[in-house]
Amino acid sequence: MEPSGHRAHPHAPETTVDVALAREHDRAIVTVTDDGPGIPENLRSTLFERFARGDSSRYRGTGSAGLGLAIARAVVAAHHGEIDVDSRPGFTSFRVSLPLT
Protein backbone atom coordinates (compact mmCIF):
# COMPACT_ATOMS: atom_id res chain seq x y z
CA MET A 1 0.00 0.00 0.00
CA GLU A 2 1.62 3.18 -1.16
CA PRO A 3 0.20 6.66 -1.71
CA SER A 4 0.54 7.89 -5.27
CA GLY A 5 3.90 9.50 -5.87
CA HIS A 6 5.32 8.40 -2.53
CA ARG A 7 7.70 5.51 -1.99
CA ALA A 8 7.44 3.61 1.28
CA HIS A 9 11.13 2.66 1.12
CA PRO A 10 13.19 5.01 -1.02
CA HIS A 11 16.40 3.21 0.01
CA ALA A 12 15.11 -0.37 -0.30
CA PRO A 13 12.79 -0.60 -3.32
CA GLU A 14 12.55 -4.41 -3.14
CA THR A 15 11.08 -4.28 0.37
CA THR A 16 7.55 -5.57 0.92
CA VAL A 17 5.35 -3.47 3.21
CA ASP A 18 2.21 -4.87 4.88
CA VAL A 19 -0.40 -2.75 6.65
CA ALA A 20 -2.96 -4.37 8.96
CA LEU A 21 -5.84 -3.09 11.07
CA ALA A 22 -7.30 -5.05 13.97
CA ARG A 23 -9.37 -4.58 17.09
CA GLU A 24 -8.09 -5.63 20.50
CA HIS A 25 -10.70 -5.12 23.22
CA ASP A 26 -11.41 -1.36 23.24
CA ARG A 27 -8.48 -0.38 21.00
CA ALA A 28 -7.77 -0.13 17.28
CA ILE A 29 -4.39 -1.58 16.32
CA VAL A 30 -2.58 -0.54 13.14
CA THR A 31 0.61 -2.38 12.23
CA VAL A 32 2.99 -1.53 9.42
CA THR A 33 5.50 -4.30 8.83
CA ASP A 34 8.27 -4.71 6.29
CA ASP A 35 10.98 -7.20 5.36
CA GLY A 36 13.68 -4.57 4.87
CA PRO A 37 17.12 -4.42 6.46
CA GLY A 38 15.82 -3.55 9.94
CA ILE A 39 16.66 -0.66 12.23
CA PRO A 40 20.07 -0.82 13.93
CA GLU A 41 19.75 -1.42 17.66
CA ASN A 42 21.74 1.71 18.53
CA LEU A 43 19.11 3.88 16.79
CA ARG A 44 16.00 2.41 18.39
CA SER A 45 16.19 4.37 21.65
CA THR A 46 16.07 7.71 19.78
CA LEU A 47 13.91 6.66 16.84
CA PHE A 48 10.87 8.73 17.85
CA GLU A 49 12.85 11.88 18.70
CA ARG A 50 12.89 14.92 16.42
CA PHE A 51 15.67 14.85 13.82
CA ALA A 52 16.54 11.19 14.51
CA ARG A 53 17.97 9.67 11.34
CA GLY A 54 19.65 6.52 10.23
CA ASP A 55 22.68 8.44 9.00
CA SER A 56 24.62 11.18 10.74
CA SER A 57 23.93 13.74 8.01
CA ARG A 58 21.16 16.30 8.39
CA TYR A 59 21.38 17.18 4.70
CA ARG A 60 17.94 16.68 3.11
CA GLY A 61 19.47 15.50 -0.14
CA THR A 62 20.44 12.24 1.56
CA GLY A 63 16.94 11.46 2.81
CA SER A 64 14.43 12.70 5.33
CA ALA A 65 14.76 15.39 7.95
CA GLY A 66 14.03 12.90 10.72
CA LEU A 67 10.68 14.35 11.76
CA GLY A 68 8.17 11.76 10.56
CA LEU A 69 8.25 9.39 13.53
CA ALA A 70 8.38 12.26 16.04
CA ILE A 71 5.25 13.70 14.43
CA ALA A 72 3.60 10.27 14.39
CA ARG A 73 4.35 9.83 18.10
CA ALA A 74 2.91 13.28 18.91
CA VAL A 75 -0.29 12.64 16.94
CA VAL A 76 -0.76 9.20 18.49
CA ALA A 77 -0.14 10.58 22.00
CA ALA A 78 -2.63 13.41 21.39
CA HIS A 79 -5.24 10.70 20.79
CA HIS A 80 -4.27 8.81 23.97
CA GLY A 81 -2.55 6.09 21.99
CA GLU A 82 0.78 4.35 21.91
CA ILE A 83 3.30 3.67 19.15
CA ASP A 84 6.20 1.25 19.31
CA VAL A 85 8.62 -0.58 17.06
CA ASP A 86 10.04 -4.08 16.88
CA SER A 87 12.97 -4.57 14.53
CA ARG A 88 15.68 -7.04 13.61
CA PRO A 89 17.46 -7.84 10.34
CA GLY A 90 14.81 -8.64 7.72
CA PHE A 91 11.87 -7.42 9.83
CA THR A 92 10.53 -4.15 11.20
CA SER A 93 7.06 -3.59 12.63
CA PHE A 94 5.52 -0.36 13.84
CA ARG A 95 2.42 -0.81 16.00
CA VAL A 96 -0.04 1.97 16.78
CA SER A 97 -2.69 1.39 19.43
CA LEU A 98 -5.56 3.89 19.73
CA PRO A 99 -8.63 3.87 21.98
CA LEU A 100 -11.89 3.30 20.15
CA THR A 101 -13.82 5.65 22.42
Q: Could you tell me if residue 6 is inside a domain?
A: no
Q: Could you tell me if residue 2 is inside a domain?
A: no
pLDDT (0 to 100) of residue 61: 56
DSSP state string for the chain: ---TT--S-TT-TT--EEEEEEEETTEEEEEEEE-SS---HHHHTTTTSTT--SSS---GGGS--S-HHHHHHHHHHHTT-EEEEEEETTEEEEEEEEE--
Q: Could you tell me if residue 54 is inside a domain?
A: yes
Q: How many domains are contained in the chain?
A: 1
Residues spanned by the domain of 79: 17-31+39-99
Q: Could you tell me if residue 10 is inside a domain?
A: no
Q: What pTM, to 2 d.p., does this model score? A: 0.74
Q: Could you tell me if residue 11 is inside a domain?
A: no
Q: Could you tell me if residue 80 is inside a domain?
A: yes
Mean pLDDT by 10 residues, the chain (101 residues): 46 82 97 91 80 54 70 96 94 96 88
Q: Could you tell me if residue 7 is inside a domain?
A: no
